[in-house]
Amino acid sequence: MMKKKLILTAFIVSIATNYIFSQDAKQLIKLPQLTVEQKWETAEGNLVYFVISGISYAKSKGETPEDFGAWTGKVGCPYWQSMDSMSPAKFVQEISANKQQFKDFQMEILEAKKSFVKGRMKGYGNNLVTMYNLGGVTEDDYTRFFNKKWETIANCVGFHYKQEKNGEWVYFTVSEKK
């Protein structure tokens, strides 16, 4: 009699467990459908997050934002070297195209000659660095990272790149090496 009760109890528990888990498995999960604007904001945030993560990782290893910028620039050099007819103007156009993924990005050309381009830019995620406040990374770290990244890439295609931050604008010059 005890054995029958034990078998019956085990059978009822088994059926109840199967019923409970089968009910849980039927739950519907509605996935988000982002608007183009939401997708853009998400992409901006993800990009800034990965740059912040890289800078934070470099700092945790005793390195600097410039070290990470030089490394990422070296990784990108083959791509930039594969472009036809690279000039200071084209280099700046490519930076602009790269940064236009940020909806608030602005670039202005202040002076251009065949051998150099001077301009200024802002709005490429700097404000998100401060807003996120992650990994001990500052807006200054972020700016220094990009300075070294562009300097490294410019060097690998035969140019000089220098920049200076003044207020919310980053002033830059891309010039041919002499």
Mind listing the pLDDT tens digit for each residue in 66-83?
999 999 999 999 999 999
Write the class of the CATH domain 41-176.
alpha beta
State whether the Cα torsion 129-167-73-94 is positive or negative. Answer: positive
- Domain boundaries in the chain? 41-176
pLDDT at 169: 97
What percent of the chain has pLDDT above 90? Answer: 82
Predicted TM-score of the model (pTM): 0.82
Q: What's the farthest any 2 CA atoms get from each other in the chain? A: 100
